[in-house]
């Protein structure tokens, strides 16, 4: 297979699509790989995902702690929030595997931080990527310079060590790698521009795409301006809601991501025989608002029949977005709705517009008549009030009205527990 990043040494991996790794196998691998890497006297910034990514972060973080010992000069952990809400001490304790308030009892000498994306003083300005380069990277979709701001902690360090899962993603194709920096620890410009390019391509076309997509090219270009050495311990989590791992890879951030992406493309895609008129996504409680629970649409949109309905069942959710209130004013619309009225929307946050299109899905808009036609109906069965749901161009359902026994017995309905991570596609006829 042709390497995506020629000239970079291949990552070392253990496991595979049909393997379930034991804790002893993982610990031995982590100990050996980190033992051979030069951390001596180095400042290390460990980048971890937030609670919206399902992975055994605590287990791996403890293994990393043991493998590093006292070799680094210091270790800081920063949680890659992107633009999500900050994590509480209790939530961070659950993420990292320590009793809240006692981080240093479990990780002596280490420090841990939320990525404070709302505070401009936490960012370093790493320069700009010229407009002509953005045009090239984005496949001609955008032509304006991109300002690269990133959390200072991955600039003021020797080694940026990324720990996290890799799985299909609606904006970049397959998540992980430098995506933990951009948007994980990024300023707004890279987030807005990269996400809007993903929206122009559409989530339907982008999600699960193998290779270096236009969005990943933009992210990689931004990451190239971060001077620290970037390595990654990537993991492939077994689907189903548990914490078992199929695969772990370690190495340069590009190489480790590439190795994991190949396995993810096999593990994290489920094929069904036909499209369904109704699909029900049952969302785990780790998704705390619709901004994050929208993954229940992204990962299931491909198997909804034209004219069908996707129901997001999340009775624990009572708000659209904790951190992006403007999305309620914008509403949820397809790509063409914005593109064909760009003068009305170009001053809005492009990341908000991108999220809007990703949850609304494919469709058309006629600027002459003002008619928006969408491929599928998106229905929210949550605690969000009917008037709010309908005001943002989505459909409302009382979550208590869902009869799951009847739904699961209906041959035209597909019910997905623990939705949001496993991508579903319709089996190609030739497969």
Q: Express each pLDDT in 179-218 by its tens digit.
A: 999 999 999 999 999 999 999 999 999 999 989 999 999 9
Contacts 24+ apart (CB under 8 A), 344-352: 349/188, 349/192, 349/324, 350/192, 350/193, 350/195, 350/196, 350/199, 351/83, 351/183, 351/188, 351/191, 351/192, 351/195, 351/196, 351/324, 352/324, 352/326, 352/327
Span 270-426 CATH architecture? Alpha-Beta Complex (3.90)
| Spans of all domains in the chain | 12-267, 270-426
Q: 145-160 as b/e, with b when 16 or more CB fall inside 10 Å?
A: ebebbbbbbbbebbbb
Encoding tokens for residue 269? 């895609």
Q: What three-state secondary structure class fits 395? A: strand
pLDDT at residue 431, as a whole number: 35
- For the domain made up of 12-267, the CATH class stated in words is alpha beta
pLDDT at residue 1, as a whole number: 62
Q: How far is CA 386 from CA 4, 169, 232, 318, in A?
A: 47, 29, 44, 11
Whether pTM > 0.85 for this model: the answer is: yes
Rounded Cα–Cα distance for residues 248 and 260 (Å)? 7
Q: What three-state secondary structure class fits 424? A: strand
Encoding tokens for residue 163? 């720990």
Residue 208 neighbours by CB under 8 Å, 6+ apart: 168, 173, 174, 265, 268, 269, 423, 425
Low-confidence ranges of the chain (pLDDT < 50): 429-431
> What pLDDT digit, counting tens, does each position of 264-302 carry?
999 999 999 999 999 999 999 989 999 999 999 999 999
């Amino acid at each position: 297979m042709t390497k995506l990043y020629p000239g970079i040494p291949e990552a070392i991996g253990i496991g595979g699509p049909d393997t379930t790794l034991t804790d002893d196998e993982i610990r031995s691998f982590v100990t050996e790989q980190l033992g051979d890497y030069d951390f001596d006297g180095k400042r290390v910034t460990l980048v971890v995902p937030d609670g919206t990514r399902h992975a055994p972060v605590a287990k791996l973080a403890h293994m990393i702690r043991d493998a590093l010992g006292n070799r680094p000069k210091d270790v800081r952990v920063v949680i890659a929030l992107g633009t999500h809400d900050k994590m509480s001490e209790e939530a961070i304790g659950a993420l990292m595997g320590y009793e809240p308030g006692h981080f240093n009892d479990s990780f002596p000498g280490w420090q841990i931080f939320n990525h404070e994306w709302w505070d401009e003083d936490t960012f370093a300005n790493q320069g700009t990527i010229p407009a002509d380069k953005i045009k090239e990277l984005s496949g001609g979709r955008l032509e304006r310079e991109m300002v690269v701001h990133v959390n200072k902690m991955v600039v003021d360090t020797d080694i940026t060590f990324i720990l996290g899962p890799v799985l299909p993603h609606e904006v970049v194709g397959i998540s992980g790698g430098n995506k933990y920096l951009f948007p994980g620890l990024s300023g707004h410009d890279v987030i807005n521009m990269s996400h809007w390019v993903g929206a122009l391509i559409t989530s339907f076309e982008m999600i699960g795409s193998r290779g270096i997509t236009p969005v990943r090219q933009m992210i990689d270009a931004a990451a190239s301006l971060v001077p620290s050495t970037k390595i990654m311990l990537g993991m492939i989590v077994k689907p189903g809601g548990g914490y078992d791992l199929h695969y772990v890879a370690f190495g340069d951030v590009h190489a480790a991501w590439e190795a994991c992406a190949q396995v993810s493309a096999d593990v994290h895609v489920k094929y069904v025989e036909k499209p369904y008129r109704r699909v029900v996504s049952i969302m785990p409680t780790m998704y705390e608002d619709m901004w994050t629970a929208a993954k229940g649409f992204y990962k299931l949109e491909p198997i909804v029949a034209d004219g069908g309905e996707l129901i997001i069942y999340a009775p624990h959710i009572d708000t659209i977005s904790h951190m992006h209130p403007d999305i309620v004013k914008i509403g949820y619309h397809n790509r063409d709705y914005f593109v064909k009225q760009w003068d009305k929307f170009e001053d809005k946050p492009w990341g908000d517009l991108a999220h809007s299109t990703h949850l609304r899905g494919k469709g058309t808009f006629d600027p002459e008549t003002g008619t928006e036609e969408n491929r599928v109906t998106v229905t929210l069965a949550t605690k969000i009030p009917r008037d709010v749901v309908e005001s943002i161009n989505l459909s409302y359902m009382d979550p208590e009205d869902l009869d799951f026994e009847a739904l699961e017995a209906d041959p035209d309905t597909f019910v997905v527990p623990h939705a949001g991570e496993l991508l579903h596609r319709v089996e190609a006829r030739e497969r």
